[in-house]
């Protein structure tokens, strides 16, 4: 048992040794009795436990029927109602319009280029085709198709 493990046990299960795992309880108690820093840590945790014990969790006060009614009411909330209260939704919608505008503009430019025939002359701008001819004597002759010579 190490002081670190004792701190982990106290942080996880509280300061009351009855809540600690039975397999580690005796060793942890012996470590707390011999180490003053651990004893102070357990005492501070005990004060925190007392403060937390004053507040009863809301689920202990509600019966099963009330809890079922609350869950059913929460699941029937419409997404539009939830989005109307969420300021992040308005932020996302505001930033979506440039993407849609860019997509519409790309489609419009593509339609215009295709419809007007502007793409018919793109073949003239392309690099000339290179053809390699290898004669029987092993020398390589390179001719450019469409070259004036």
- Where along the chain do its domains lie? 3-61
d(CA 19, CA 14): 7
Alpha carbons 34 and 41: distance in angstroms, whole number = 13
Please state, in angstroms and rounded to a whole number, the distance separating the CA atoms of residues 34 and 3: 11
pLDDT digits (tens, 9 = 90+) for 2-13: 889 999 999 998
What mean pLDDT do residues 57-85 have?
67
Instruction: Determine the Cα–Cα distance for residues 141 and 147; give it in Å rounded to an integer.
Output: 14
Q: What is the pLDDT of residue 113?
A: 83
pLDDT tens readout for residues 85-134: 556 556 666 677 788 888 999 999 988 888 887 766 666 555 556 655 55
pLDDT score for 86 = 59
Q: What percent of the chain has pLDDT above 90? A: 17
Q: Of 127 and 52, which is predicted with more confidence?
A: 52
Rounded to an integer, what distance in angstroms lies between the CA atom of residue 59 and that of residue 57? 6
Residue 17 is predicted with a pLDDT of 87
Mean pLDDT, the chain, integer: 75
Entry pTM:
0.39
Q: Hey, what are 53's tokens?
A: 């014990």
31: part of which helix (H) or strand (E)?
helix 22-34
CB–CB of 3/35 below 8 Å? yes
- From 34, 40, 42, 46, select the one nearest 1 (Cα to Cα): 34
Residue-level pLDDT at 44: 92
């Amino acid at each position: 048992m190490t002081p670190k493990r004792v701190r982990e046990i106290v942080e996880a299960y509280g300061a009351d040794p009855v809540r600690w795992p039975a397999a580690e309880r005796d060793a942890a108690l012996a470590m707390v009795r011999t180490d003053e820093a651990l004893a102070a840590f357990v005492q501070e945790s005990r004060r925190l436990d007392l403060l937390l014990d004053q507040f009863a969790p809301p689920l202990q006060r509600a019966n099963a029927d009330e809890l079922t009614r609350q869950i059913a009411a929460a699941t029937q909330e419409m997404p539009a109602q939830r989005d109307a209260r969420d300021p992040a939704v308005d932020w996302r919608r505001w930033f979506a319009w440039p993407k849609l505008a860019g997509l519409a503009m790309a489609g419009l430019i593509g339609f215009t280029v295709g419809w007007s025939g502007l793409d018919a002359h793109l073949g003239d701008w392309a690099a000339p085709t290179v053809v390699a001819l290898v004669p029987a004597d092993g020398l390589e002759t390179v001719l450019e198709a469409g070259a004036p010579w």
